[in-house]
Structure 1
Amino acid sequence: MKNSALIKGTAAIAVGAALLLGGGGTLASWNAEATGTPGTVIAGDLNVTAATGTWTDRNGAAVNISTYRVVPGDKLTYTQVLDVILTGDKMAANITATGATPANGFDPANVVVTAPALTVGGVAVSNPLKTSKTVTATITFEFLSTTTGRSDVTKSYNFGNVAFALNQVTQTGLS
Structure 2
Amino acid sequence: MSLETAPATRASLAQRPVRRHRRTTAIAIITVGAALLSVGGGSYAYWSTQTALTAGPVTAGDLNLSLGAGTWTLKGVLGTAQPVANLTTVKIVPGDVLTLTQPIDVTLVGNTIAADLKAEVGSTFTSGALGSNLDVVLSVASYGTATSANTYRLSSANSGAATATLTVTFKPGTIGRAGATQSVNLNDIAFTLTQASS
Q: TM-score, normalised by structure 1?
A: 0.68
Give the distance between the partners of 1:65 and 1:103, measured in 2 at CA: 26
Higher helix fraction: Structure 1 or Structure 2?
Answer: 2
Partner of 1:78: 100
Partner of 2:81: 61
Superposed CA deviations along residues 84-136 of structure 1, whole A, max 9, x for unmatched, are 0011111111111233573355445422222x222329x65752111212222
Partner of 1:14: none
Structure 1 counterpart of 2:111, one-letter code: D
- For structure 1, the 5+ residue unaligned runs are 1-29
Partner of 1:164: 191
Partner of 1:117: 139
Give the distance between the partners of 1:151 and 1:35, measured in 2 at CA: 74
Change (3 A) 1:60 1:128: farther
- State whether residues 119 and 125 of structure 1, in contact with CA within 8 Å, keep that contact through their aligned partners in structure 2: no
How many residues matched?
A: 166
Partner of 1:36: 52
- For structure 2, the 5+ residue unaligned runs are 1-45
Partner of 1:128: 153
Which structure has the larger Rg over C-alpha atoms? 2
1:148 aligns with 2:175: yes
Structure 2 counterpart of 1:50, one-letter code: L
1:96 aligns with 2:118: yes
Q: TM-score, normalised by structure 2?
A: 0.61
Give the distance between the partners of 1:151 and 1:160, measured in 2 at CA: 22
RMSD across aligned positions (CA):
3.6
- State whether residues 106 and 152 of structure 1, in contact with CA within 8 Å, keep that contact through their aligned partners in structure 2: yes
Give the distance between the partners of 2:94 and 2:107, measured in 1 at CA: 39
Instruction: Name the % identity.
Output: 36
